[in-house]
Amino acid sequence: MAEASKTPAALGFRMPAEWEPQEAVWLSWPHRRATWPGAFSAIPAKFAEIAALISRRQKVRINVSAGRRARARALIARAGADMGNVELFGNPTNDAWCRDHGPIFVRNDATGEVAVTDWKYNAWGGKYRPYGDDNRVPGRVARSLGMRRFASTMVLEGGSIDVNGAGLLVTTEACLLNRNRNPGLGRARIEANLRAALGVATVLWLGDGIVGDDTDGHVDDLTRFFCADGLLTAVEADGRDANHRALSDNLERLRSMRTPCGGRFRIVELAMPAPCVHRGQRLPASYSNFLIINGAVLMPAFRQPRRDAAAAEALASCFPGRDVVPVDCLELVVGLGTLHCISQQQPASRP
């Protein structure tokens, strides 16, 4: 049942940082062939590979319809998963982007309670229909896990935000202020809703997203926290590249921002891969779309040995003690997203 009397923040909940201990990572099994035109045949096995990688360190929970369950389980087992850590849930979906249609979890550190925040989902401004099953996923997950659910009338996708777990949230104007999401809400109201639901104190605003991103500028293709006062941010050195201007603007914004203590953020630049193109379309390939799990960082790789290696080195410097595991995402990004886009972490009940 949705909780309406008090906000999560008022009840002591916050959204933990992704690097905090996790109980599970959620995926939604791929089945919409049109999402990966000309590349879908490779996608179920790629999801199975990713599920297997996660399962060796923690639980992986997958939304998959009953008719696809046996096939999904067989592929995941074939990929070498720890099947004791694989849990399949019969939640139907329209598509596979669990970061955006899945629940955004919050935790009360005092009690250990983990709860679900359930935002409206409209497929990035109504771009892809139908999306009704996707919009119902958070409520179904909450019921499956017996968790408290906090419902919101605001449209929000998980890929549009990133938090440091200590009061800061970073997002983009291009996405959250887009009229195709919440035309009746201004910046102040959106910030207030984020503070109330996710337990953050300050919202940091970047500008535009990268070329090829159909989400209108999700921040998880741009800039990610790696510690309370540190941010990894995508950069493009080539002034002729279509991404150069937007990424340079975001970098300058970050340099002008200050931490709650008044200091500068630690900024690590993450060079973009060379352009990835499919059927004449520039794809939103970005190393910023990594996924943090217990003990590791899964990094999208694009068959560019020098650039992939440089990105892995940058991530390793930011996450000491975690293995950086490159995952070939060249077919996956044909669907206009990679590792972070397909996943949603569920925090452990204790920090």
Task: Return the active site residues.
Answer: 341
Q: Which residues pair with 319 in a beta bridge?
A: none
Please give the single-letter amino acid code of residue 49. E
CA distance 288 to 243: 14
Report which of 180, 182, 228, 183 is spatially closest to residue 204, judged by C-alpha positions.
228
